[in-house]
Amino acid sequence: METIRNQLTYDEKKFFYRLSNYLDTQLYYFGSVQRGDYFPSSSDIDVDIFTDNENNTIIKLMNFLNVEKSEFKRFVWKLNNNNDKLAYGYKLMYRNAEENFCVEFSIYNEKYKNHILYEHNAKKDIPIHATILLIIIKFLYYKLNIIPSDWYTGSKKFILSTLIFKKDDHFVVIDPK
């Protein structure tokens, strides 16, 4: 998952290379960028970052991306494939307006790495019927703009869980207050 199955633009590659060097850590890609349903310039690029010090990594990301700490959301994820183990982390949705791409960063403690990568790999190679349905849904949403975002999100969740006989992912954002 350190390499990407789909082709990124030169500017996207340069951005991730610089970020990886700045953080001095490997970036792990998952989601549609690793499958056949990736839509360049529309789909977000999902990236996991594993660290021994989440706060330090968040500060570095704030500096590199020029974002505020309030944009990071603390969450808990009930992992499906490990006796319902809980994993805690932070999410940041980042839009690079200059290069027209969006990244969803997930920052985890290193202790969750093997469990998280296992979960993401479980949805990397999906059946062709699920891939085709995802492409249709994304085309209707991204290119034709004829379905609302809640319908799009619900359809994606259904395809990536029930339709391919996988458990649905359960994330809960933890209020930082």
pLDDT score at 28 = 97
Give the residue numbers spanning the domain of 16.
Answer: 10-124+168-173
* All residues at 6 or more sequence positions from 136 whose CB lies less than 8 Å from its CB, including other chains: none
Residue in 152, 157, 176 with CA at minimum distance from that of residue 168: 157
Asked if residue 82 belongs to a domain, the reply is yes
CATH code of the domain containing 71: 3.30.460
Task: Summarize pLDDT for 81-107 with one digit per residue, the tens.
Answer: 666 689 999 999 999 988 899 999 999
Enclosing H/E stretch for 95: strand 86-96
Asked if residue 111 belongs to a domain, the reply is yes
For a pLDDT cut of 70, what percent of the chain falls above it? 92
Asked if residue 155 belongs to a domain, the reply is no
pLDDT score at 54 = 97
Asked if residue 146 belongs to a domain, the reply is no
* All residues at 6 or more sequence positions from 122 whose CB lies less than 8 Å from its CB, including other chains: 80, 81, 166
Mean pLDDT of 20-45: 96
Asked if residue 132 belongs to a domain, the reply is no
Query: How many separate domains does the chain show?
Result: 1
CB atoms within 10 A of CB 142: 14
Burial class (CB in 10 A: 0-12, 13-18, 19+), 45: buried
Question: How high is the mean pLDDT of the chain?
Answer: 91
Q: Taking the model in full, what pTM does it have?
A: 0.91
Question: What gap in Å lies between CA 40 and CA 5, rounded to an integer?
Answer: 12
Residue in 70, 7, 1, 86 with CA at minimum distance from that of residue 43: 7
pLDDT score at 83 = 65
Mean pLDDT of 139-146: 97
Mean pLDDT of 105-114: 96
Give residue 22's region: left, alpha or beta (phi > 0; psi -120 to 50): alpha
Band of residue 139 on the pLDDT scale cut at 50, 70, 90? very high
DSSP 23: H
Mean pLDDT of 18-28: 97
Task: Summarize pLDDT for 43-72 with one digit per residue, the tens.
Answer: 999 999 999 999 999 999 999 999 999 999
Asked if residue 130 belongs to a domain, the reply is no
pLDDT score at 175 = 65
Asked if residue 98 belongs to a domain, the reply is yes
Q: Which two tokens stand for residue 29?
A: 């890609």
pLDDT score at 82 = 61
Asked if residue 97 belongs to a domain, the reply is yes
Chain center to CA of 92 = 10
